[in-house]
Structure 1
């Protein structure tokens, strides 16, 4: 399961649209490693003038790796994180998450990161099974 959803939030979803802040809080509480990783790259980005910041450190355990994969594989979760942190997220392998300024989505750095070439150059034997 991707998220541990409180019964009150399930009830709210059954009645209609869910408040974005409640959804993001559910993501934060359910996927703490993913939240911390995205939080860190978004904070790095905010503190610099760069177009992007990224995480190159693999998760310490398979559980954390799974959290990151679940967060970034879900369109709804990824979009919620992007809205919350005001960034565009990009993802390679099982750990390399980058936060881009929305205005940088058409930049050379973004295109390189999300390209097939970028994906291939970010491979290594220890990440083959992630």
Structure 2
């Protein structure tokens, strides 16, 4: 894929849209019929979108290309940490707030924030040198 075909935000938008479509298809065909309630189907979407939020920047930024030189096992472990962190963070947030009577959109935003922050936090915890340049400024 040519990085120059789209700006960073374009790749991010395309990736997020594709993952949202895949997650919604999974919700509609598998998880919904299996009994996952509509309030919790956003967890699947957040979980699918979180690797895009993290890895588009790692893939696009020239100063982070050294990440891809790590062993394949480390990268797969990072992806698993991101996915599990997003699922766990968003699910825990939803469990805590779903009965409070908040608007659905507000519940989804809170769950997204919790899921994305936990997944990024786990990714950063495993790769602190990747963001060392920003921390020093």
TM-score normalised over the length of structure 2: 0.32
* Larger proportion of helix: 2
* Larger proportion of strand: 1
> Max radius of gyration: which structure?
2
